[in-house]
Amino acid sequence: MKIAFRPTDCWRWYFDNQYDSLMLEVSNDMLFRSCYSSKMLIPDVFKEFPFSVSDATSYYQFYDSCQILALTDSQKIELSINAIVAANFIKPQMPKSWYFCQQPMLYSPKLADIVEVNMQEGGQRIFLLVVEAGENASLCIIAQPTFVAMNKTFYFSEAIKVMNDRLAPIQKNVMDESSLTDLKLEAIS
């Protein structure tokens, strides 16, 4: 069953000190908690502000891109909202490309592209969503379940900046259903 989750002008962002997270209030009964702690966020997020028309446009752009991934609808929504937070509210990052192999062809990603990288250890393919495309490096978020590389655990929706020479476009629905884990939107009351 497809989830009807459409932005409205009633949605609002606010920072919740108890959860140390930027929250998106969708309705009186539903909150979305971003996965980024306060230390990762710019100072502008520590107040209340509306979910803008630009945010709604970005939401649909990211959500449409996620359709090629074998994620549940809830996971696509979660990934899309975290992508908005990463694109607009995360402090500048330095590239951490050493986890990934250089690609044979240079790729220039665009905003909301789903890309893949190959791990240095074992060559595992990892899928990312581009949230800020740069000339030499792009800010991405992890677009698949948690994985470990070089003794570091990477989490679903975690932000990472990667040099563009490590990124490659993906062709189609390349994640299979067996790669999904029990990722769920968490309602906070």
> Each residue's pLDDT tens digit in the chain (189 positions)?
455 678 988 999 999 999 999 999 998 888 999 999 999 999 999 999 999 999 999 999 999 999 999 999 999 999 999 999 999 999 999 999 999 999 999 999 999 999 999 999 888 999 999 999 999 999 999 999 998 888 899 999 999 999 999 999 986 544 444 344 444 444 444
Secondary structure (3-state) at 16 = strand
Q: Residue 109 CB: number of other CB atoms within 10 A?
A: 21
Residue 12 corresponds to which tokens in the numbers above?
Answer: 């609002």
At residue 175, the pLDDT reads 45
Give how far Cα 1 sits from Cα of 10, 40, 72, 73, Å: 25, 35, 10, 9
At residue 3, the pLDDT reads 52
What is the pTM assigned to this prediction?
Answer: 0.88
Q: Give the whole-angstrom CA distance, residue 126 versus residue 115.
A: 8
At residue 176, the pLDDT reads 46
Q: Across the beta sheet with 159-163, what order do the strands follow?
A: 159-163, 137-142, 125-132, 114-118, 168-169
Report the candidate in 49, 16, 5, 36 with the shortest Cα–Cα distance to residue 139: 36
At residue 178, the pLDDT reads 38
At residue 185, the pLDDT reads 45
**Cα 44-45-46 angle, rounded to 5 deg:** 95
